[in-house]
Amino acid sequence: MLESTPFEIPVFRPVTDPVSEKTDVVVVGLTESGALTPTLSAIDGLTDKWISRLIELGQLRGKQGELSLLASPLSDGPVMILVVGLGNKPVTRSDAFESSASAIRKLVDRKRDRVVVSLAESFPEEFQEQIVAGAVSACEVQALYQADPPIEVPASIEFSGIGQAVIDRGAVIGQSINQTRRLVNEPPAMVYPASFAERVEELAAGTELQIEVWDENKLEAEGCRSILAVGAGSSKPPRLVIMRYQGGGNEAPLALVGKGVTFDSGGLSLKPSDAMVDMKCDMAGAATVVGVMLAAAKLGLRKNLIGLCGLAENMVSGDSYKLGDVIETRSGKTIEILNTDAEGRVVLADTLDVAVQCEPQAIVDLATLTGACMVALGTEVVGMMTNDQALCDAVRQAAEVQGEPVWQLPMFELYDEKVKSKVADIKNVGEGRWGGAITAAKFLENFVGDVPWLHLDIAGPAFAESPKSHRDAGATGVMVRTLLQWIASKD
């Protein structure tokens, strides 16, 4: 049976002296001002001002993102020194995450047993979790099925100036990002509705998450006809996964809802091959919900959460739902199907209704919903649409803290008319190409009632065609950090 490369998780622990102990590499930060951190100063003192001379000669410049790997002249201590450029601007949490991730990605090209990260000297104490999370996130790539290991994960990653409790929290965040990415990067033959649900149950084992899975019979009994319609053309039946975490007493939960179309052929509105090749990523919203819920449980966040993943495979067969079909959703609203490739919102119609019946204080949904959002905002910005400005502002503030770009799009009432159907309550597409991200959100708004609700269209940033210094191409795990920040900071 085909098996992907297993997770390799190093030992994560603190280290007291990053210079005197024998290590493969020590990672240090340097700004453009050339001011030496304590670790660089210690190395400088042991090497007759070697670091200072390199800075004076312009060989170490501290430019933002520049990585300089040096062979250490020390007979003891680190074999190599990796200097990470931090630029000349005030540092952010995003800088902490990306600098640490870039450093580890630079070092996984060959076997290294022990790497020491001394970046805490260059960042405020409240950024330490992000240093750890970034380092952990660098231990995952999209090449899951190559015969030779694509990376050599260090046996031990140690952190100078960071205590074990902070290391443990940062590791949970990094590993949850990687779990999200792994679910998205797996091929659709491996991750389909039933296997996705099974993986959630496996990942939740040993945590305080309670998992409930609705199979096709339960979905039928519950009236989830829109989820069943999208999955009707596939030999792999749909599922609804419900994850519950009770960390906040008797308060109403926060609901996270994820679109989980495990593969999207477009159905009878068939996609061309080029547009279909990456459609294993169409369940990134559901995978993000899983990552956030796992992290919240492992971190012991004092909030009540419910995560819902609507899972279906949109395929073509004689049983496929058709253009012109009218579907009665779980809520009773009827949908006219005018494009079977606008299936994610149809899956979310029932999933959101289940969320509403859980009586949450707010709902945030995540979906790789529209190419139109990518046209509007590009491939690195998340689109935000809401019926509650305070909720939107809170999540946007969390995104700004974590350095994940978001932008709010309008939800004017004039868009309501564009999703009204002549034969049903609503139709699953708007009027042609115009405002497609907004009309998709307007469709979803029909299923949330008066509950404060935020829709996050992650179609662009959830899956990357090209790598960056701090992450591989493929799944990115976008919004895991933002949502954890929002949940932890919510009153």
Last residue of a domain, one of 162, 193, 220: 162
Q: Does residue 228 sit in the same domain as residue 305?
A: yes
**What is the three-state SS of 436-451?**
HHHHHHHHHHCCCCCC
Residues of the chain with pLDDT under 70: 1
User: How far is 330 from 148, CA to CA, in rounded Å?
Assistant: 48
User: How far is 308 from 311, CA to CA, in rounded Å?
Assistant: 10
| Residue 300 lies inside a defined structural domain of this protein | yes
What's the token pair of residue 3?
């098996």
Contact predicate 429/269, CB 8 Å: no
The set of long-range contacts for 389-398, using a CB threshold of 8 Å and a minimum separation of 24, is: 390/452, 391/362, 391/364, 391/452, 391/453, 391/454, 392/454, 394/486, 394/489, 394/490, 395/364, 395/454, 395/456, 395/482, 395/483, 395/486, 398/482, 398/483, 398/485, 398/486, 398/489
Domain with 460 in it: what CATH number? 3.40.630.10
Last residue of a domain, one of 108, 129, 162: 162
For the beta sheet containing 426-427, the strands, ordered from the edge strand earlier in sequence to the opposite edge, are 326-328, 334-336, 426-427
Short-list 190, 282, 187, CA closest to 230: 282
Short-list 338, 324, 320, 341, CA closest to 272: 341
| Residue 172 lies inside a defined structural domain of this protein | no
Kindly give the pairing relationship between strand 254-264 and strand 362-367. Answer: parallel
Q: How many domains does the chain have?
A: 2
What's the token pair of residue 33?
């001002």
Give tens-digit pLDDT for 330-361.
Answer: 999 999 999 999 999 999 999 999 999 999 99
| Residue 192 lies inside a defined structural domain of this protein | yes
Q: Does residue 272 sit in the same domain as residue 392?
A: yes
> Which residue range forms the structural domain that includes residue 35?
11-162
Q: Does residue 181 sit in the same domain as residue 158?
A: no
| Residue 104 lies inside a defined structural domain of this protein | yes
| Residue 374 lies inside a defined structural domain of this protein | yes
Q: Does residue 481 sit in the same domain as residue 374?
A: yes
What's the token pair of residue 429?
């597409």
Could you tell me where the beta strands, DSSP code E, fall in 161-298?
210-214, 239-246, 254-264
What's the token pair of residue 485?
């920040």
Contact predicate 263/282, CB 8 Å: yes
| Residue 73 lies inside a defined structural domain of this protein | yes
pLDDT for res 414: 96
Short-list 179, 414, 454, 412, CA closest to 291: 179
Q: Which residue type is seen at 337? A: I
Catalytic residue, chosen from 345, 418, 427, 442, is: 345
Contact predicate 451/360, CB 8 Å: yes
Could you tell me where the beta strands, DSSP code E, fall in 55-136?
67-71, 78-85, 114-117
Please name the residues in contact with 53: beta carbons below 8 A apart, sequence gap of 6 or more: none
Domain with 130 in it: what CATH number? 3.40.220.10
The DSSP call for residue 279 is: G
Could you tell me where the beta strands, DSSP code E, fall in 126-253?
156-160, 210-214, 239-246
Give tens-digit pLDDT for 152-201.
Answer: 999 999 999 999 999 999 999 999 999 999 999 999 999 999 999 999 99
- Would you call 480 exposed, middle or buried from its count of C-beta atoms within 10 A (0-12, 13-18, 19+)? buried
pLDDT for res 1: 63
Q: In which residue are the tokens 């253009």 written?
A: 323
HSE toward the beta carbon, residue 73, CA cutoff 13 A: 9
| Residue 2 lies inside a defined structural domain of this protein | no
β-sheet bridge partners, residue 82? 27, 69
Residues in the chain: 491
Q: Does residue 251 sit in the same domain as residue 353?
A: yes
Could you tell me where the beta strands, DSSP code E, fall in 233-293?
239-246, 254-264
**Furthest CA-CA distance within the chain:** 82
N-to-C CA span, the chain: 48
Q: Does residue 425 sit in the same domain as residue 301?
A: yes
Please name the residues in contact with 479: beta carbons below 8 A apart, sequence gap of 6 or more: 288, 366, 382, 399, 404, 456, 458
What's the token pair of residue 321?
């739902």
**Rg from Cα positions in the chain:** 24
User: What's the whole-model pTM score?
Assistant: 0.97
pLDDT for res 139: 97
Q: Does residue 153 sit in the same domain as residue 216?
A: no
Could you tell me where the beta strands, DSSP code E, fall in 118-161?
156-160
**Is residue 422 among the annotated active site residues?**
no
User: How far is 159 from 129, CA to CA, in rounded Å?
Assistant: 11
User: How far is 386 from 384, CA to CA, in rounded Å?
Assistant: 7
Catalytic residue, chosen from 271, 303, 333, 468, is: 271
Q: Does residue 132 sit in the same domain as residue 200?
A: no
User: How far is 124 from 91, CA to CA, in rounded Å?
Assistant: 9
| Residue 171 lies inside a defined structural domain of this protein | no
**Is residue 345 among the annotated active site residues?**
yes
Give tens-digit pLDDT for 391-426.
Answer: 999 999 999 999 999 999 999 999 999 999 999 999
Distance from the Cα of residue 286 to its chain's centroid: 10
Q: Does residue 236 sit in the same domain as residue 155?
A: no
User: How far is 36 from 46, CA to CA, in rounded Å?
Assistant: 14
Q: Which residue type is seen at 150? A: P
Could you tell me where the beta strands, DSSP code E, fall in 93-246?
114-117, 156-160, 210-214, 239-246
pLDDT for res 4: 87
